[in-house]
Amino acid sequence: MKNILVVDDEKPLANALVLKLTHEGFEATAVYDGEQAIDALGKNTYDLILLDLIMPVMDGFLLLEKIKEKGISTPVVVSSNLSQSEDFSKAKSLGAVDFFVKSDTPISDIIGKINKILE
């Protein structure tokens, strides 16, 4: 079973993603900021990280840098309401494998992207 870490400070959305991912046959865990994500990554191995960029404590860009520094090779898909191409480019340069705009992307499409990456 594939294990997914959802990192998003919007708790209702994070929890909805966990429910949907679990329903689709994934193991999924939600954390609500970058520090919690670093903690979770220190304790468990994940097959994919679904990462919001704008969060308190530690934002997604800084978390991507930390993941890179620690040599964690888990694929990261960035989910954000930032839709500027610079944000996408910056996330990609920090190691993100895919990017989508939360407000424009139904959960079913997110699941589709995840399935494609994990195939």
Whole-number pLDDT of residue 16? 93
Share of the chain above pLDDT 70, in %: 99
Answer yes or no: is pLDDT of 82 > 80. no
Whole-number pLDDT of residue 103? 86
Long-range contact pairs involving 94-100 (C-beta distance under 8 Å, separation at least 24):
94/61, 94/64, 94/65, 94/68, 95/64, 95/67, 95/68, 96/51, 96/64
Whole-number pLDDT of residue 84? 81
- Tell me, what DSSP letter sits at residue 32? S
Answer yes or no: is pLDDT of 78 > 90. yes
Question: pLDDT band for position 102 (50/70/90)?
Answer: confident
Q: Which helix (H) or strand (E) holds 98?
A: strand 96-101
Answer yes or no: is pLDDT of 71 > 90. yes
42-70: per-residue pLDDT in tens?
999 999 999 999 998 899 999 999 999 99
Q: What span, in angstroms and rounded, lies between the C-alpha atoms of 27 and 5?
A: 9
- Here the CATH number for the domain that contains residue 96 is 3.40.50.2300
| pTM of the model as a whole | 0.94
The sign of the torsion formed by the CA atoms of 36, 116, 96, 110 equals: negative
Which residues share a beta bridge with 27?
3
Number of domains composing the chain: 1
Residue 71 lies in a domain: yes
Residue 115 lies in a domain: no
Residue 86 lies in a domain: yes
| 53: Cβ contacts below 8 Å, ≥ 6 apart | 59, 60, 61, 78, 80, 82, 87, 91
Q: Can you give the residue range of the structural domain that contains 15?
A: 3-110
Range from 17-26, 82-91, 106-115 carrying the lowest mean pLDDT? 82-91
Question: pLDDT band for position 1 (50/70/90)?
Answer: very high
Residue 119 lies in a domain: no
